[in-house]
Structures are given as structure tokens and as C-alpha cells.
A and B are shown apart, each in its own frame.
Chain A
Amino acid sequence: MRGITQWENTRISVRSIAGSPIRSALTALGVMIGVAAVIILVALGRGAQTQVESSLNSLGANLLIVYSGEPRGTALVRSNTANIRPTLSEDDLAMIRALPPELVLLSAPASTANVQLKFENRNIAASVVGTGPEYPEIRNFRPIYGSFFTEIDVERRSAVVLLGAQVYRDLFDPGRDPVGESVRINGVSYRVLGVMEEKGSAAQDSSVLIPISTFQRRVSGDSNYAMISIQAASSEVMREVQSVIEQQILRLHRLPSMEYADFYIANQMDLLSTVAGVAGTFTLLLASIAGISLVVGGVGIMNIMLVSVTERTREIGVRMALGARPRDITAQFLTEAVVLAIGGGIIGIALGITGSWVAMNMARTAAEVSIFSVVAAFGFSVLIGLFFGGYPAWRASRLDPIEALRYE
């Protein structure tokens, strides 16, 4: 039965905190800001991560691209492939198409060249991509107006073209229906089938698409392809697809190993995990900066608690004289520090969520509040209260009752 209850300790702390509200608010301010910072910065980090991942996914699902030539950088989609000597053959494409649907769903060859485009009296430079009818599906790049060419167009080597959004704007007056019009590419006339959706990437928006067979006959005169885009059956098989295709092309090209390869494969998975890794590091960095401010907040609590213990020496002496054990005094001051930290933490959480909301809705920044960061920030502020309140509380409990009573 004997002994003060934690409930009573909490009441004492709350009263003492409420007794000097401004000082208490200032004491908790550091933790408040720290917690808000953790939540906002983690939300921004995660928002950036999600945004990058979704823009990567917009390139196409489970995308692999076999490129001619030496590996260059880590980019999944290379901005300029026009000046690469194409090394990928029809046999390579046939081999990929022969792979079971458990591995590969779709594939489309592509080659590019820089050309002159002409419509009526307008003349622009653009890049032309020769490819297959699977291309829109694989690259998640579809006509917004009109329709894409079909397998029949490829078989017949039809002179048909789809315009990138920028090309359409450059050649046609606003609102003019381009479908059925004739556009000249390097002097040859092509019938316009439609306009591609805007992707926001200059490479795609400033290009035009024609059937691969037409490209080979009229533009390049080369039966090889610059690249082959592949849609794997699932993200799980992407690594396997990559290694199978590598082995098969090495065999077809009679090459001993990838060191000698005249092609390379860019894998969306690798890129995604690289980006996720970078973004994760970024988020962690932001979180640790915010974490440091939480620790600084904790030091603030410790500072004020030490002052408070000194100021309240007499109170401590009185409580001891009336039967408080050292552990009761420890508990009292520790509770006070934890209540302050929790109070700061709760206000900080509210500020953090509000701040993230503002960033998202007012500043139009991607922000994703993570429940984990909220829970972690709260838990961390409790720990900070315990840790930084610990020393002042211990000091308080070690006071000699007689000296404490004599303290002026």
C-alpha cells in the first residue's frame, strides 16, 4: 500500500508544468520543432522517392532495353541513339520473341535517325524512330489522338507516321487535325496516323514514329536494330530475362563473354533499386538532420530541468522531510521531463502533419507522411525525456534533505 503512485507523480508534474506555462512551452519547443522536422523531412523524402519511382514506372512496366554498342552510363532510356552503329540482328529479335511468355510478354525493335521534317512551308529537324506496333504498350507511350500503326503497316512497309507532341505543335497550327495529312521525311511523303501523348521528355516529344520495316528500307538501309525494347512477364523475372538474353545474344554474336559484348541490357529493376537506394539514403539523411534537432531539443529540456531542480531545492527538501524517498523524487522529475517531451512531441506531430499537408497542397511538393515516422518521432521524444531528464532527476534525488531545507 505504501508509496506514491505514478498517477500522483504525473499529477504533480502536470501541475508544475501548468504552473509556468511559458517556460514549459519554451522548454518543449526544441522537441516540438525536432519532431515536426522529422515528420516533414521524412514526408518530403518519401514524396520525392515515390515521385521518382512513379516517373520511372511511367517509362513502361517491367521494361528492359537491349542496346547496340558499349554500355553508356546507367540511364534506362538513352536520349540519343541515332549515331550508334546498330548491332542487333533479326535473329536476335527472333530469339527474344521465341522466349516463353512466362519470361517475355512483348518485344519491339527500334532504330533512330536524325531527319528533316516538312509540312507545307514548315521545316524542322527531328528524330525518327522506326519500331513495331508493340512499342506503345511496352514503353507506355500511346497516341493521344488517332491510332498507332499495325502489324499490317509493318508488313507492307507503309509510309505512315505518328507525331510527337512537340513535333505536332511545331508543324501544325493549334487545333488543326493532322490525321490524313502528308508530312515529308527526308523528302518522302508519309501519311499522318495520329499524335503521341506528351511525355515531358524532349527525346520522345520531338520524335516521330514509323514502322521499322519502312525505316530500314527508306531511312537507314540497315537490317540491324539499334535497340530492342522488352516487356518482361513480371518484375520477379527481370533479372532472369536479362541473363537469358545476354547469354543467347552472346551465342548468336559468337562472343565469349559480356566483356567483349557489342550490346548491353538496361534493366528497369536495377535503375529502380538504384533510385530507391539513393532516395532512401536521402530520406535517412533528412531524418538524421531532423533527429539531431530532436537531440538539441532534449538538451534544452535537460538545461531547464537542471535549473528547475536548483530552483526547487527547498521543495525537494520539504518533500523528503515529509516522506518522499529518493526514488520518488527521481520519478517526479523524470515524469516532468517525459511529460514535457511528450507534450512537445504531440504538438510537433500536429505541426509536422500540418506542415506536410501545406507542402503538398500549397507548395505542390510531393510529401507523404509516414506513420512510422510519426510513431518513431513520438517514441524518440519519450526516450529523449527519459534520457535528458534522467540526469537532473538523479541530481534532485541525491540532495541531502537538511541542506535542501536550508537552501535559500
Chain B
Amino acid sequence: MIELINVTKEYQMGDTVVAALRGVTSSIGKGEFVSIVGPSGSGKSTLMNLIGCLDTPTHGRYVLAGEAVEKLSIDRLAEVRNTTIGFVFQTFNLLPRLTALENVEVPLVYAGVPRAQRREVARAMLERVGLPDRARHKPNELSGGQRQRVAIARALASKPAVLLADEPTGALDSVTGEEIMELFHTLHSEGSTIVLVTHEPELARRAERIIRMHDGEVV
């Protein structure tokens, strides 16, 4: 599903070049639940952004679902993000003016799915994350945990091949975080491929596999 071969990512900071990733080689199979851990600044988010096609590697190869990502056009990258990837962010990143249901619809809007069909899918997704009765609420009318559930429903809406979550429990208390993790495990058991970045060893251990990072490298 995900194949990274000697991937590097460098940022130009004035005169100096900062290497966020220094030759990462790794692969994640379909249906796997992998967690990525490592100290702050070790390159976890950078790696997630690459996997999620929000960014492209400076060097190296990245093959996602059989497609060489480093060769893709900007538009095709957007399309891959839309259909193949589901993102869950630490800060939820819901659109504040839209209701929960409408937020879940957003990826489907960009996929060109007709309205009625979109509604139906979005409702099903909210149900799946356990929020069928909050469809008409705006994000600021929801608790943190509920917001993250909406965000997960949104990530699931386009039935992506991979679900990427960068510290999805980082902004939640431990009980709510636990509930969100339960949800991920349920989704995994239903067949989703999940890549999760976390600082909490406790949560990381419950994944099938742990990728440890240090200073831009997998250790």
C-alpha cells in the first residue's frame, strides 16, 4: 500500500539546509495499523505529510497504491488526497461555519458527488463514529471528542485506502483520547489501513507495529 524508498525531505532555511527526513525506507501494508513514535522534531509530521501527499519528497521514491507520488501533478496530488487519503489532525480542523454533516461532506463536494448522495454518505459516517444526533451542530457546539469524531467521519467519507492521524488525541483528555483510540481500533478491525503518530507509548504499543523515528531517520 505505502512504500517509501530512501526518502529525504530538506527545507531551505536561508543559507542552511535543514534535513527533516534523512533517507527513510519503510513500507506499510494494506489493512495494517502502524504507529509512528519519536521525539519532537524527529520528522514524524513531515513523514505523515509526505505519506498524505500534502508534500513531495526532495529525494527518494514514494509509491502509494501502485502510483509513484513524486511524479504526480499538483492536481493529481489533490485528487489522491481526496480519494485515497483520509486525514485526521491534532486540532480537528473542522470548518467553523459548516455543520457537522456539512463538514463531513466537504471531501465529497470536491469529488463531485451529487448532493443527495453526499448527504446520505455523510449521515452514515456520522453514525459510524457514534454521532448520528449531532449532524446539525456547528463545531463550536461540540466537545473536543465529538469534534474529533466528526473529523474522523470526514476522513472516512471518501472511503480512503489509508487513514492518517497525526496526534489525534493530542488535544483531548485521556478518557476522550481513549474513546477515539477505540474508534480507530474498530475501524481497523473493519479493514481500514491506519497510520497514527503519537507521543504516548501506551497508545503506540496497541498498534500492530511501531515505527520509531529519531532525527529524521527510522531506527
Q: Which of B55, B74, B97, B158 contacts A15 (CB 8 A)?
A: B97
**What is the CA–CA distance of A401 and B48 in the complex, to the nearest angstrom?**
13
**What is the CA–CA distance of A100 and B9 in the complex, to the nearest angstrom?**
96
Contact segment of B109-117, B124-132, B141-149, B168-176: B109-117
The reply to whether the CB of A118 lies closer than 8 angstroms to some CB of chain B is no
Measured CB to CB, the nearest residue on chain A to B76 is A325
Chain B residues contacting A19 (CB-CB under 8 Å) are 97
Contact (Cβ within 8 A) A323 B78? yes
**What is the CA–CA distance of A328 and B154 in the complex, to the nearest angstrom?**
19
Chain A contributes a number of interface residues (CB within 8 A of B) equal to: 26
Known contacts being A402-B54, A402-B55, A405-B93, is A322 close to B110, with CB within 8 Å?
yes
Contact with B along A313-349 (1 / 0, CB 8 A): 0110111111111111000000000000000000000
Contact (Cβ within 8 A) A323 B158? yes
Chain B contributes a number of interface residues (CB within 8 A of A) equal to: 25
Contact (Cβ within 8 A) A2 B112? yes
Contact (Cβ within 8 A) A401 B54? yes
The reply to whether the CB of A1 lies closer than 8 angstroms to some CB of chain B is yes
The reply to whether the CB of A5 lies closer than 8 angstroms to some CB of chain B is yes
Chain B residues contacting A326 (CB-CB under 8 Å) are 74-75, 78
Chain A residues contacting B107 (CB-CB under 8 Å) are 322-323
CB distance from A380 to the nearest CB of B (A): 31
Contact (Cβ within 8 A) A322 B87? yes
Q: Name B's interface SS.
A: helix
Known contacts being A320-B78, A323-B158, is A5 close to B112, with CB within 8 Å?
yes
Contact with A along B160-174 (1 / 0, CB 8 A): 000000000000000
The reply to whether the CB of A3 lies closer than 8 angstroms to some CB of chain B is yes
A window 132-146: CB within 8 A of B: none
The 10 closest A-B pairs by CB, nearest first: A323-B82, A323-B110, A325-B78, A322-B107, A318-B93, A325-B75, A401-B54, A3-B112, A323-B81, A19-B97
> Could you show 29 A-B contacts with beta carbons less than 8 Å apart?
A2-B79, A2-B112, A3-B110, A3-B112, A4-B109, A4-B110, A4-B112, A5-B112, A8-B109, A315-B95, A318-B94, A319-B95, A320-B54, A320-B78, A320-B81, A322-B87, A322-B106, A322-B110, A323-B78, A323-B79, A323-B83, A323-B111, A325-B74, A325-B75, A325-B110, A328-B110, A401-B54, A402-B55, A405-B54
Measured CB to CB, the residues of A under 8 A from B are 1-5, 8, 15-16, 19, 314-315, 317-328, 401-402, 405
- Given A16-B97, A326-B75, list of 9 further CB < 8 A pairs? A2-B111, A314-B93, A317-B93, A318-B94, A322-B106, A322-B154, A326-B74, A327-B75, A401-B54
